[in-house]
Amino acid sequence: MNNIFLKNISALATKNPELSKVLQIYVPNNAPNLVQENGAYNFVYHDKYIHNRQNPLAEAKEVFSMATNEPVAIHIVYGIGLGYLFQVAALNSNGTVILYEPNLSILWAAFSLVDFSNEILKKNVYITATLDEVSEEIYKKSGTHNTPQMLSLPSQREFDPAGFENLVSKLQEIVGTYSLDLKYTRERFYPSLKMLIENIPHLMKETPLAKFKDIYKGKTAVIVSAGPTLDRNIETLKKHRDKYILFTVGTALKTLIANDIKPDFLCIIETYNSSKQVEGLDLSDVNFITEPYSNPALRNFKYKNTYSHISANTPVNHLWAELCGEHIEEYWSKGTVSYTALNCARLLGCSKIILVGQDLAYIGGQCYSKDSAYKDLSCEFNKENNRWEITAKDFEKFAAAISPSEDINIREQTALKRLTALNNSLYHVKGIDGTMLPTESVYAAFVTPLSQYAQHFNDRRYINTSLVGAQIDGFENLPLEEALKDSEPVGDITLKNNFKYDENLIKKNLEEKLSELKEGIQIIDEGFACIRNIQTELHRRKAVNTDILKTLKKLSLIYLELSGDFAGKSKMFDFISVAKKIDLDYEMKMMKDFSTTNVIRITDKILDYLADSRNRIGEIDILVKGTLYEGLNTKG
């Protein structure tokens, strides 16, 4: 090992110790050849030049110049070569640089020839060799306005077309998944917290599903979703109804009931009021599985029993786990109700799990089953616009199905918003037959998690009966009739358990969490005082001076204390403030100078954050006291 290699390895050990260890013992195979041409060094690999033969540095600068370069930028450099593009990005990027080099022979050779230690040690630079590492670094650095940008040399795309296409596909998936997570964080964190607190009196009577682990061992489960192919399987579902335990998602319920098929378990997990999915139906013989944070309106219907699926990847559920003392590691979820139903079937022990209507794509212009809540949606190719478009065949019916509001204008606005969102997120996935199918980006993002689930819990059979929808690796593709042919009658599926929560423990913990949350009021008031000082000084001085900058620095430290240390201490505060924090962090990163205009703008943004946090603390105070002194006493 030469000195250059050791310097690079030593620097890499501070950022990616595992990759550093791999490279130290790596024996290169077919390493690239170093050549000098036109006064510049280049790599030749498999008889191809990696860099431009005339001016590799100019090529690198041109590639980087085409990227957006802001503090929130994430520049993914695909391939290191001799490091021209990587060094240009590391030197000039105002955001984050992620080098992705999956070819260890090239990475080893580059590290042996060029000293990258200064670049590697920069705070905004990360070195990766796998797509999982790329994904992890993107998640660490992503925020509201982050869109990862891939920087690569023309030769790299020609040199490794399969790797390039794989990376592009993976990046789309990462960005889609992150967008879902970010949307959930911004739109649902606070509503989820409020609904959890409101639901606590009901939760006291809802047994956690894991208390029945493996009770259906050896049984067959069918999970019904509302995809178009559900209609094709109705008669087979009816014919073999005694051979399986039936789980259904809310959007497919009306299709089943319309065909005289009653599910054993209904799964709904939404925070929005989706009671339209079950309205007017007799569910007294149906078990209901839901999340602690799901909309309280869903609990107003009469079910046979209600069970909790406490998703471990949902932050608000960790708060519930702390309140009640439950372990939630086995409750796997990815934000889609069909995934939740899949985990329920596994938790209960089903050895064969069959998906019906899980198309994850729009089939033959149809978005959903003909009797589902969203049956009026269709997806057709618009030749004039040269694109696929989703429309509602009967807009009024669609609006009524999607919104419970009595106000027709609100219903229509909700429906229009939903249609716009669907069309803005149109995507394509690989179908079972190999063709590319139109779908919603959210559905496309669900394909990989379902596949990974089947591969992880590989001690049972997973079957997809769509046959014309998205390909889900890890699932057998079989007709429903064949999938059920060797299933035995289920028999009695009654769940019996004497589990009870410790109500006194929950009350005690809830009171402590509320007291902890209200400690933030004093910090917020200190922030208000700083803002008043800044506003007074600006009004008097008409310009930013040293005193104002000192007070602004103090205000920034108060914000960092609230959004950092205090939010880490109080989960409740994190839930009520994180949406505003995401936007405010972006504004602070983008602030380039302390002009009067910028100081006023950032002060107003922090004021909005503080005022909103203060108001929400008051709302949670009222909700918690209502639960403690009214709800638990009447429903516990």
To the nearest 5 percent, what fractions of the chain are helix, strand and coil? 55, 15, 35
Give buried/exposed letters for 197-219 (b at 16+ CB in 10 A, else e).
bbbbbbbbebbbbbebeebbeeb
User: What is the predicted pLDDT for the residue at 126?
Assistant: 95
**Which residues in the chain show pLDDT less than 70?**
1, 141-147, 172-186, 365-373, 425, 631, 633-636
- Using alpha carbons only, how large is the chain's radius of gyration in Å? 28
Q: Tokens representing 92?
A: 């000039």
Residue whose tokens read 């990462």: 174
* H-state helical runs in 216-311: 230-239, 250-258
pLDDT value at residue 337: 93
3 state DSSP class of 80: coil
Global pTM value: 0.70
Token pair of 41 as six digits: 């060094």
List C-alpha distances in Å: 62 to 58, 88, 98.
Answer: 6, 10, 18
Q: Report which of 458, 217, 261 is spatially closest to residue 357, judged by C-alpha positions.
A: 261
Strand spans (E) along 4-101: 33-37, 40-45, 48-49, 74-78, 96-100
Residues 73 and 96: beta-carbon distance below 8 Å: yes
Any idea what DSSP says for residue 293?
Answer: T
Which pLDDT value is given to residue 373? 61
Instruction: Output the CA torsion 140→141→147→151 (10° steps).
Output: -100
Q: How far apart are CA 32 and CA 28, in angstroms?
A: 10
Q: Which residues pair with 96 in a beta bridge?
A: 74
Quote the CA–CA distance of 121 and 14 in Å, as a whole number. 8
User: What token pair was written down for 34?
Assistant: 């170093």
Separation between Cα atoms, residue 630 and residue 615, nearest integer Å: 22
Classify burial at 334, counting beta carbons within 10 Å of its beta carbon; exposed 0-12, middle 13-18, buried 19 or more: buried
| Count of C-beta atoms within a 10 Å radius of residue 140 | 10
d(CA 502, CA 292): 16
Q: Distance between CA 591 and CA 463 in Å, rounded? A: 53
Residue pair 421/443 in contact by the 8 Å Cβ criterion: no
Gap between the Cα atoms of 252 and 230, Å rounded: 8
Q: How many CA atoms within 13 Å lie on the side-chain side of 133? A: 16
For the record, the structure tokens of 58 come out as 């100019």
* Residue 18: how many other CB atoms lie within 10 Å: 12
The Cα 280–Cα 286 span in angstroms is 14
**Residue-level pLDDT at 636:** 43
**DSSP summary character for residue 338:** H
Contact between 460 and 343 (Cβ < 8 Å): no
